[in-house]
Amino acid sequence: MRRHFAALAIALLCACNPAPPPKSTPAPSAPARPRPTRTPLVLTIKGKGSANRPVHLIQQVHNRIDYDLLASSYESKGPQGAARAVFQDARVTFRDVRGSRVSATAPQAVVDQTSNTVTLLGGVHATTSSGMTLTCRQLVYMRATGTLRGSGDVVVTDPKGFRAMGSTFDSDLSLTHMRMR
C-alpha cells in the first residue's frame, strides 16, 4: 500500500512541475503563391448591317431617347460598362429634354462609355430640328451635359441665310446658345 501511495505522490508532484512543455518545431510553411488578380474580361463584338437593316443603337435616359444611331457596321472592344464602339457610315440623331434634335452623318462614329461621349469623325454634316445646318471635321456629343463640341472648318448656317465660320464651337443641341472661336 505504501508503494501505491508513494507512486501516487510522485505522479502528483510530476504533474505540478512548472517547467514549460517542450517547444515543437513548426511545420514548414508552403511557399507563398501570388494571388491571381481579377482583370476585367475584355469583349470584342463585331456586327454588320445591310441596306434594309442597318446596325441600330438607341440610348435612353429615364425613358427618353438621348440619341439614336444607325450604321453599316461596328466593332466594340472593352470590358462591360467601359467599352469603346466604332461605327462606320453613321447617322445619329441627338435629342434633348426640350425636344430639340440634331441629325448628323459622318463616315465614322465612336461611342465611348468611359468618357460618356459620342464622337463623329471624318467630316460631319448636321441639321437641327429648327432648320440650321452645321458642317465640321469632328463633332463630340457630351452626354453628361447634353452639349456639342465641333472642331475643324466649322460652318453654321441658319434658315434665314446667316452664316458663321470658325475653327471650333461649343453649343447646346438646338445650336441657339453657341460659342464659336
pLDDT > 90 fraction of the chain, expressed in percent and rounded: 69
Going from N- to C-terminal start, the domains of the chain cover: 43-180
Span 71-99, pLDDT tens digits:
999 999 999 889 999 999 999 999 998 88
pLDDT score, position 175: 86
Q: Is the model's pLDDT at 156 over the cut of 80?
A: yes
* HSE toward the beta carbon, residue 130, CA cutoff 13 A: 14
Strands 178-180 and 163-172, by their bridges, are antiparallel
Span 13-43, pLDDT tens digits:
555 555 555 566 665 555 666 666 677 788 9
Cell of 95: 435629342
End-to-end Cα separation, the chain, in angstroms: 116
The model's pTM = 0.77
Q: Is the model's pLDDT at 139 over the cut of 60?
A: yes
Give me the residues paired with residue 170 across strands.
149, 179
Answer CATH for 43-180 from 3.40.1080.10, 3.10.290.10, 2.60.450.10, 3.30.230.10: 2.60.450.10
Contacts of 23 (CB under 8 A, 6+ apart): none
Span 43-72, pLDDT tens digits:
999 999 998 999 999 999 889 999 999 999
Q: Are 96 and 102 in contact (CB under 8 A)?
A: no
Chain-wide mean pLDDT for the chain? 87
